[in-house]
Structure 1
Amino acid sequence: MNIISGFSKLSKLEKINYLVENFLNGSNFSKNKIKSFWHDSENEQRVFDDFSENTITNFYAPYGVVPNFLLNNKVHCIPMVIEESSVVAASAKAAKFWLERGGFKAEVVSTTKVGQVHFIWHGDSEKLFKVFEESKDELIASVDPLVVNMNKRGGGLLSLTLKECTDLEEGYYQLHGEFETCDAMGANFINSVLEAIGKKWQELVMTSDFLEETQRDIQVVMCILSNYTPNCLVKAWVECDIEELADRGLGMSAEEFANKFARAVRIARKDVNRAVTHNKGIFNGIDAVVLATGNDFRAIEACGHAYAARDGQYRSLSNCIVENGKFKFELELPLALGTVGGLTLLHPMSKISLDMLGMPNAKELMMITAAIGLAQNFGAVRSLVTTGIQKGHMKMHLMNILNHLEANDEEREKAKIEFDTQIISFNSVRDFIAGLRNYQ
């Protein structure tokens, strides 16, 4: 067994040597490849190393852009970090399509975030609620030093309520806080406030004159924000007259396309098998912008999927309405994003992304991100109901196959011509390249 003690205390090079010797067959190729992805600047590399733990190198992902993206009558060039073929191309194609039809629209509905102090207490709940009501002002005042700066920016702790959750777990209660964190995502701020509230609440319960001594026993289980933020909500949409959808690339009339498109979205609203893939496509666009701007795509996805199942069934996050000669395609979801704090300005490429977007505030970034998710969804559904999704996807995937086969420039050009109208598979491309090489 290759057990090691004190691995985190080793230097970066010592970590790499250990991995090479014990897990990479002593390969100098692997060692050199790992080191080749280090940043040329030691200062820049130190920033990357400090993002996480036991860092040995960097893992690159493609950074692309979608130009000509018209949102709320302003043209953007939107950065996207994603490795999946055809995502950026589909978003760019959707952006071009809607550029001529009024562009995308978006609005922020609300920006409230939440967190809870989870605790266990046994006794007469009416007495506990009385303790809370009598001490609520003191409880909130106890975190004044923590919220003063956020208050100056227009945010802070908006409300605090006591919730009985004994139907979920014996003796289980929550202090439920609602927060406004302005342009910050706010996780550290919320968690710090909740921990201070939890400590003060425990003190107040244990010393309350309203409770008998036998009812002063309280166990604070945890103090933590929730990544489920259904009241941090944004909407994005596109709309036009059905006749304006006419496009030679559809291969059908505008009316047939509108109805077929709407039916495909309705299926995703009703069938969970389709809904999961449908929403995955939405997050292809959203995650790419979230990553490019240094935000937390895992929190965004977890919240979005929970929101998609808020009525008890998992459904499409987007919706399509075709009526009275009008076509409207819309998306609504929670997006708790920030443009200050975290990695947003610490990661050098995140800072460039925000510069590219005109240094948006959090609300503006919410609208941009929702709109690119809708664009990606439109592009994917459009392909599905017209040419099929594989035609464009596999053309992009051809490049991956050719890279895997280490094709040279001449071979790549001949392969593009050969597979312009043929079905693309790894075996067929491999055999074609092998044939070229044997012929030579």
Structure 2
Amino acid sequence: MNHTPVEGFSKMSKEGKIEWLVNEYLDGSENALQTLKQYWNDDVELQRLHDEFSENTLSNFYMPFGFAPNFLIDDELHCLPMAIEESSVVAAASKAAKFWISRGGFKTQVISKTKLGQVHFMFKGDKEKLEHFFIETVLAKLFIDTEAITKNMQARGGGILNLKLVDKTAEMDHYFQIHAEFDTVDSMGANFINSCLEQFAQTLKRELFASDSFTSEEKESLQIVMCILSNYTPECIVRAEVSCPVEDLEEGNVTSAEFVEKFTRAVRIAEIEPYRAATHNKGIMNGVDAVVIATGNDFRAVEACAHAYASRNGKYSSLTHVEVKDGVFRFWLDLPIALGTVGGLTSLHPLVKLALQVLGCPNAEKLMGIVAVGGLAQNFAALRSLVTTGIQQGHMKMHLMNILNQLEATEAERNYFVNFFKDKTVSHHAVIAEFCKIRGVKSVEELKKG
């Protein structure tokens, strides 16, 4: 089917946008229309709030909003809010929390909290002259010209930490940066950082054009390319860790020594093998992203930063590490992560506000630790399963309900299958075969016809 471009879509009413979408892309389906509308909130004001979070909003996209209890973090008990659609993530995190609650719990430490941004610009003049000019003339004025922007942030204990000129001409002709470091306290700080950077660019241009140190050709060669924060924050780091005596790690028929050997080997593989590290770190981010989303933070920025950090030494590697020393097992995660607990959705989305209340209304540093613990717990649970019972046993039992929902099983049938697979390994094929058997048909196709 050929579609035609639409003019003025953003200016249409919500009803008009839906009508256009359904007619143009969904064959005028009444069912599609109802699907979009059935997720609207009955509370008109609440729906208006959600509509204004993003552009061209036509409906709400629901995700499961779950909680993982029994997290002992820095000697304080927490229940972690987790927004995620993947089966077994919340269950696995909860299981890891229960395991470690009797072994000292999780410990966290914010190692540093510096956030970054750059003014990217081109300059074809004398590099040494530019560097001297930046230090002697421009640097102090960058701080002065941003005083109005930084006043409130400084009152909260944050602000601009450091500014420097970076020469990148060895990598790209005529390319320079003003590299800026910030502390944004409890806000994620994107708007604050970008506002500062734009002012830096204006100040640099104004001062260079007013200077007698540069020729007219040099002045004309200055081009501001862009002013933007970086989502790579290798100096905004939190560490989450667990530790206990090796003898406390006995796992079923697996001795503590065997468990530690297998677990350590699994982490080591993820440290040296990028193919494994990608899946290993994805599991960490299952726990991280779920808490990040539940608390109204930017999970795309968190993902980008984590994976860039995992590649910082020239090869993609594990974000978690393990050591055994003097009879003590220690497992930890160093996570670069920029979060906020004020601004954005944190003060607007009702469930985000609830999630933060459940966590005790943490500041940004405390939330960094909680989020890192979510990632560490998820990774521990996954590795624990992988080196003992195997990952599929627990995962497929959680997936069972998804299969039954696709088959539109009745409540009685759902109860039957939970009992049926109590002592069996779940597989899609096995579920389908048993379902067809109790329905008295030969295939799923027959079910659909019936």
Same fold (TM over 0.5): yes
1:223 is aligned, of 227, 241, 260, to: 227
Q: Aligned equivalents of 1:128 and 1:56: distance in 2?
A: 51
Q: Residues 153-192 of structure 1 correspond to what in structure 2 (within 5 A)?
A: 153-192=156-195
> Do 1:208 and 1:216's aligned partners in 2 also have CA atoms closer than 8 Å?
no
Q: For 1:286-311, what per-residue CA distance to the aligned partner results, in whole angstroms no more than 9, with x for missing partners?
A: 00000000000000010000111111
Q: Residues 193-272 of structure 1 correspond to what in structure 2 (within 5 A)?
A: 193-217=196-220, 218-248=222-252, 251-272=253-274
Q: Aligned equivalents of 1:2 and 1:399: distance in 2?
A: 41
Q: TM-score, normalised by structure 2?
A: 0.95
1:24 CA displacement: 1.1
Amino acid at match of 1:244: D
Q: For 1:28-76, what per-residue CA distance to the aligned partner results, in whole angstroms no more than 9, with x for missing partners?
A: 1111111000111111111111111111000000001011110000000
Q: Aligned equivalents of 2:429 and 2:375: distance in 1?
A: 33
Counterpart residue number, 2:361: 359
Amino acid at match of 1:254: S
* Unpaired stretches in structure 2, ≥5 consecutive residues: 442-450
2:380 is aligned, of 378, 381, 395, to: 378
Q: Residues 16-415 of structure 1 correspond to what in structure 2 (within 5 A)?
A: 16-135=18-137, 136-217=139-220, 218-248=222-252, 251-415=253-417
Q: For 1:100-147, what per-residue CA distance to the aligned partner results, in whole angstroms no more than 9, with x for missing partners?
A: 100000010011001000000011101101211122112220111110
1:377 CA displacement: 0.3
Counterpart residue number, 2:446: none
Q: Aligned equivalents of 1:427 and 1:381: distance in 2?
A: 26
> Do 1:259 and 1:322's aligned partners in 2 also have CA atoms closer than 8 Å?
no
1:246 CA displacement: 2.3
Q: For 1:147-205, what per-residue CA distance to the aligned partner results, in whole angstroms no more than 9, with x for missing partners?
A: 01101111011111011100121100000110000000000000011001111111111
Amino acid at match of 1:258: V
1:18 CA displacement: 1.1
> Do 2:310 and 2:319's aligned partners in 1 also have CA atoms closer than 8 Å?
yes
* Unpaired stretches in structure 1, ≥5 consecutive residues: none
Amino acid at match of 1:307: Y
> Do 2:141 and 2:203's aligned partners in 1 also have CA atoms closer than 8 Å?
no
Q: TM-score, normalised by structure 1?
A: 0.98
SS at match of 1:333: strand
Amino acid at match of 2:127: S
Q: For 1:416-439, what per-residue CA distance to the aligned partner results, in whole angstroms no more than 9, with x for missing partners?
A: 222233343333322322222228
1:353 CA displacement: 0.5
SS at match of 2:381: helix
> Do 1:207 and 1:216's aligned partners in 2 also have CA atoms closer than 8 Å?
no
Moved over 4 A (4+): none
Q: How many residues align?
A: 437
Q: For 1:320-369, what per-residue CA distance to the aligned partner results, in whole angstroms no more than 9, with x for missing partners?
A: 11232110001101110110011112111110010000000000000000
SS at match of 1:109: strand
> Do 2:109 and 2:369's aligned partners in 1 also have CA atoms closer than 8 Å?
yes
1:3 CA displacement: 1.9
> Do 2:251 and 2:259's aligned partners in 1 also have CA atoms closer than 8 Å?
no
SS at match of 1:101: coil
Q: For 1:211-235, what per-residue CA distance to the aligned partner results, in whole angstroms no more than 9, with x for missing partners?
A: 1222112100000000000110100
Q: For 1:379-419, what per-residue CA distance to the aligned partner results, in whole angstroms no more than 9, with x for missing partners?
A: 00000000000000000000000011110111111112222
Counterpart residue number, 1:430: 432
> Do 2:320 and 2:376's aligned partners in 1 also have CA atoms closer than 8 Å?
yes
1:4 CA displacement: 1.3
1:210 CA displacement: 1.4
Q: For 1:258-277, what per-residue CA distance to the aligned partner results, in whole angstroms no more than 9, with x for missing partners?
A: 11101100000000010000
Q: Aligned equivalents of 2:357 and 2:283: distance in 1?
A: 26
Amino acid at match of 1:178: E
